[in-house]
Chains A and B, each alone.
Chain A
C-alpha cells in the first residue's frame, strides 16, 4: 500500500511527472528561442512562471458558473496523470495494466481537451467561446488519425493492453520499423492535441487572445499550464511506448536513461516542428487531417495487416 502511494505521488507518479514536464517545457522553449536566434529562458523559468501564477489571485468571471470554472483545471490534471500510470515506461510493465487499457488511456487523454472546451465554454467570454469551439473542432480532426495509428500498432501485437504491446515488440524487436509512418502521424496528431505549433489554433493569440484560457488566471491557469506540461510527457511516453519500443529488457537504470532520451527526442521534434511552420487556419487544419492524415493512418493499418499476414505466420 505504501509502495503504491509512493509510486503514485512521487516516482514515477505525480512529482516525477511535474519535474519532467517542467524540464520538457524548458527544453521546448529553449529550442524554440535558439531556433529564432534568441537567448531563451533560464532553466528555472517554468518553475518561476508557475510560482508567479500560483501567487496571484484567482478571478472568476461574474457570468461564469464558478464551480465548473474552478473544477476544470483539476479534472484535466487528474486525468492526464492517471493516463500516465497505464503506460509502460522503461520496462515492459506499466504501473497498472489490464486487458483493454489502451482504450482507457486514449479516453483519459481526451479528457484534458474536453476540459479546455468546457472551461472556455463556462467562462462565457466571447473569445473563450470561440476558443472552446475551435478546441472541439480540432479534437475531431486529430483524434481519429491518432486512434487509428495506435490501434494499428495494437493490431500487429494482437492485444488491447499497452503493456502487452511493449512485450510483443520486445519479443519481435525489428517490427517497430513498420510503424514509422504511424509514428509520424502520431507526432502531428500530438501537436494538435497539445495545441502547439502550427495547430495552436484554439489559442491563437492574435485572433482570439488566449482562446479557452482567456478568462483564466492565477492558480487555475497555473494548473492548466501544468496540465499541458504533463500532457506533453504523457503523450510523448505513449508514442514512445507504442512506436519506439526498444531498450526495454535492459537493467532499470539504463532503461530509464533510454526512456528519458526517447521522450526528449519527441519533445525536441515537436519544438522544431512548431518553429518551422506557420499556424494553420481551422478549415485548413480539418482539411489537412481528413484529407491526408486519416487516409495515411488507414494505410498504416493496411501495412500492419499485411505484415501480420505475411511475416507473423
Chain B
C-alpha cells in the first residue's frame, strides 16, 4: 500500500527507545580487540635490519642505532596510517600493534613517539638525535 509517512511507526518507537549514539567524551565504547591502533616498539627484539623502514608506506618509522645492538624507533603518529605493514615485515617481532586509537594532540611534536632500548654502558648518556 502506497502512502506518505510510512516510517511513522518506526520513528515513534525510536523516540521511546534508547538512542544509538552516545555523546563521546563522556561515554566511550571499548575498542575492538582486533583494532589496529598505535604501533609499539619492543627494543629488546630489534636487530636493526630496517626492513620496517623500507616497507612503511608512509615513512612514519625511523630506526636508529644508539649503541652496540641497541636501537631506537621514532614513530610519527601524524604520518602513520596504522596499516601494521611494519609489524608484518619485521622478522624479529620487534613491533606490534596496540588498540590505542585516541592519539590526537594539539602539539605536533607530541605526535612523535620515541622508544629506545636501554644502553648497556653507563658512560653514554647523551640523548641521541634522529635526522
Which A residues contact B (CB, under 8 angstroms)? 31, 33-40, 272-273, 275-277
Which residue of B11, B21, B22, B23 is within 8 Å of A276 (Cβ)?
A: B11
B15 to A38, Cβ gap below 8 A? no
User: B7: CB under 8 A from chain A?
Assistant: yes
Tell me the bound Cα distance from A36 to B5 in angstroms.
14
Which residue of A31, A37, A272, A277 is within 8 Å of B19 (Cβ)?
A: A37
Which residue of B5, B7, B12, B21 is within 8 Å of A38 (Cβ)?
A: B21
Which residue of A35, A39, A277 is within 8 Å of B5 (Cβ)?
A: A277
B7 to A34, Cβ gap below 8 A? no
User: B4: CB under 8 A from chain A?
Assistant: yes
B11 to A39, Cβ gap below 8 A? no
A277 to B20, Cβ gap below 8 A? no
Tell me the bound Cα distance from A35 to B9 in angstroms.
10
A277 to B14, Cβ gap below 8 A? no
A277 to B4, Cβ gap below 8 A? yes
B4 to A34, Cβ gap below 8 A? no
A35 to B15, Cβ gap below 8 A? yes
Known: A276-B5, A276-B8, A277-B4. A39 touches B22 (CB 8 A): yes
Set of chain B residues within 8 Å of A272, measured between Cβ atoms = 8, 11-12
User: What's the least CB distance linking A225 to chain B, in Å?
Assistant: 24
Tell me the bound Cα distance from A132 to B12 in angstroms.
34
Set of chain A residues within 8 Å of B14, measured between Cβ atoms = 34-37
Interface of A is mostly: helix
B21 to A37, Cβ gap below 8 A? yes
User: What's the least CB distance linking A79 to chain B, in Å?
Assistant: 32
Which residue of A31, A33, A40, A276 is within 8 Å of B7 (Cβ)?
A: A276
A34 to B19, Cβ gap below 8 A? yes
Tell me the bound Cα distance from A36 to B15 in angstroms.
8
Nearest-CB residue, chain B, relative to A36: B14
Tell me the bound Cα distance from A39 to B19 in angstroms.
6
Set of chain B residues within 8 Å of A38, measured between Cβ atoms = 19-21
Tell me the bound Cα distance from A40 to B22 in angstroms.
10
User: What's the least CB distance linking A280 to chain B, in Å?
Assistant: 10
B15 to A39, Cβ gap below 8 A? no
Tell me the bound Cα distance from A38 to B20 in angstroms.
6
User: What's the least CB distance linking A274 to chain B, in Å?
Assistant: 11
Set of chain A residues within 8 Å of B4, measured between Cβ atoms = 276-277
Nearest-CB residue, chain A, relative to B16: A34
User: What's the least CB distance linking A279 to chain B, in Å?
Assistant: 12
Known: A37-B20, A39-B22. 5 other contacts (CB 8 A): A35-B11, A37-B14, A38-B21, A39-B23, A276-B8
